Homo-oligomer: A and B are copies of this chain.
Amino acid sequence: MIVRSPPVEGQLTSLARLVDRALERFLPPATRLPARLHEAMRYSVFGGGKRLRPALAILACEALGGTRAAALPAACALEIIHTYSLIHDDLPSMDDDDFRRGRPSCHRAFDEATAILAGDALQATAFGTIARHVRRPAIAAALVAELADAAGSEGMVGGQVLDIAGSSRSDEDSLERIHRMKTAAMFRGAARMGAISAGAPAAAVNRLGIFGERLGLAFQIVDDILDVSGTAGELGKTPGKDTAQDKATYPALFGVEASRRRAESLMREALKAVSSLGTKAKPLIRLAEFIVGRTR
């Protein structure tokens, strides 16, 4: 019997729904004191994200024999961290963006102090979600360590610092370092955390980590291409920001065509990293193809 796999967008939608239901459980209700803070946290978490990092964590967990449920705390923690980083990135002293996913950014919908504090509280919530909802303590501790590395000063936050400082005078190496820290560290962390949630051995966790990192680097290049070619309606945020802020991007340095080729080469490296999983890797590969092929 041939079981046909659902189209990737349908699968992503169903994973996103699963993640949203779990987020609903893991986040404090908006009615609880301080209500304004909890509203701001939920405003940003439920702001129409594609839930790509959670999907990656869940599919990595399933590819290594774990259940979807086992991956949910890690998946939600990743999305909560990602959300806090977007809130802080949008602040006036950072990228100064008034819109995010087609709606006012958190500091515009609320105020700057509330946005900073909502981001801070979300970060604590992310780590607490893992500690409270992962059953096996050894897995919980490993997940917290992974997430701290992916999100911290040598991962996502470090990449944002380099991105802000970096502008213009970048070469390919320093650009890739920024991408590796700012974006790929969280994709790498997502894939590794999914594998850890499945109770996979270190070698499998490492292979998934390579898959996630290459995919994250490809994702960032595609994102930068879309920033050059997209419209505000398609993107849900202000297009051309990178150019206006004189940020170094792949398309700015090498043009759109060379950037596409680089993304495709990264994709091949990603697929190679999970080739030993055989057909079990199929959902991961479809996710990767969707991410690199997306138009918004």
Question: Are the C-beta atoms of B153 and A125 separated by less than 8 Å?
Answer: yes
Segment from A48-56, A134-142, A224-232 that makes contact with B: A134-142
Interface status of A120 (Cβ within 8 A of chain B): yes
Q: A165 with B128: in contact, given A94-B113, A112-B93, A157-B121 (CB under 8 Å)?
A: no
Q: Are B93 and A154 in contact (CB under 8 A)?
A: no
Q: Which of A88-120 contact B (CB under 8 A)?
A: 88, 91, 93-94, 111-114, 116-117, 119-120
Select A162's contact among B34, B38, B154, B162, beta carbons within 8 Å: B34
Q: Which of B41, B116, B149, B157 contacts A91 (CB 8 A)?
A: B116
CA distance A128 to B142 in the complex (A): 10
Is A236 among interface residues, defined by CB-CB distance under 8 A? no
Q: A267 at interface (Cβ–Cβ under 8 A)? A: no
- Could you tell me the distance in whole angstroms from the C-beta of A37 to the nearest C-beta in chain B? 4
Q: Tally chain A residues at the interface, Cβ within 8 Å.
A: 55
Contact A160/B94 with A127-B144, A149-B128, A153-B38 known, Cβ cut-off 8 Å: no
A161 CB within 8 Å of chain B: yes
Whether the Cβ atoms of B37 and A121 lie closer than 8 Å is no
The interface residues of chain B lying within 8 Å CB-to-CB of A148 are 124-125, 127-128, 131-132
Q: Is the CB of B93 within 8 A of A160?
A: no
Q: How far is the CA of A148 from the CA of B142 in the complex (A)?
A: 16
Contacts of A144 in B (CB 8 A): 127-128, 130-131, 140-141, 144
Given A93-B113, A141-B131: A34 in contact with B165 (beta carbons within 8 A): yes
Q: Are A34 and B161 in contact (CB under 8 A)?
A: yes
Whether A218 is near chain B, meaning CB under 8 Å from some CB there, is no
Residue of A38, A140, A155 ringed by the most chain B CB atoms within 10 A: A140
Instruction: Pick from B113, B121, B152, B162: contact of A124, CB below 8 A.
Output: B152
Q: Bound complex: CA of A25 vs CA of B75, how far in Å?
A: 30
> Is B32 a contact of A154 with CB atoms below 8 Å?
yes
From residue A125, how far is it (CB to closest CB) to chain B in Å? 6
Q: A36 interface residue, CB < 8 Å from B?
A: yes
| Chain B contacts for A123, CB-based, 8 A | 120, 123-124
20 A–B contacts, CB within 8 A, in A order = A34-B161, A34-B162, A37-B157, A91-B113, A116-B116, A117-B157, A117-B160, A117-B161, A123-B124, A124-B148, A124-B155, A125-B148, A125-B153, A127-B127, A127-B147, A127-B148, A128-B148, A131-B141, A132-B148, A140-B141
- Rank and list the top 3 A-B pairs by shortest CB-CB distance, nearest first: A128-B148, A124-B152, A131-B144
